Amino acid sequence: MVALKILSKQESRVLSRALAVLIFVFISLGALFFFYTNESYELAFKARFYYSISNYEQSYELARRAYELDWKNKMASSLLLRAGAALKYEAYLKQGNDYSSKILSLGVDGVDKAEEKRIALMCDIMIEQFGDLGSRVHTPDELYEAAEAMRDKFKKLKSALF
């Protein structure tokens, strides 16, 4: 009789564990089905992939479309914020590179007073715009560090010339 009670307790434990695993699998499959059939979440997953490979423009566009389809999609809203911040930093770096090439082309023939003022204005713009880029929290570290190096480069140039 005791052996039957122990056996039935072990069977009930196995049965309850199997039931728990089946419930977990069922819920997981249901969630996957929902995410892959819901266009907003599908776009958000694609946006997350593009963000992870540093294609911030494509990530921003997909996250924007996903957010427009479902404004409650937290992944889309988060990616929209982070990709937007990354795009600001990329634009800052592009502008800094453009200014650097212009300054180098000005310096080839010598610099007169008007060109000095133009260079000073470019330096001031780059130094001030760094502060306007926004929070570092939503920005990838490599972009922030590159932007910080660009700002420091223009600070050194301004202090060396003026």
From 95, 87, 90, 85, select the one nearest 135 (Cα to Cα): 85
Would you list the domain boundaries of the chain?
A: 1-37, 38-161
pLDDT confidence tier of residue 14, bands split at 50, 70 and 90 = confident
Residue 125 CA to residue 123 CA, distance in Å, equals: 5
As to burial, measured by CB atoms within 10 angstroms (0-12 exposed, 13-18 middle, 19+ buried), residue 38 is middle
User: 61-73, pLDDT tens digit by residue?
Assistant: 999 999 999 999 9
pLDDT number for residue 4: 47
pLDDT number for residue 61: 97
User: 83-141, pLDDT tens digit by residue?
Assistant: 999 999 999 999 999 999 998 887 666 778 888 888 899 999 999 999 898 878 888 99
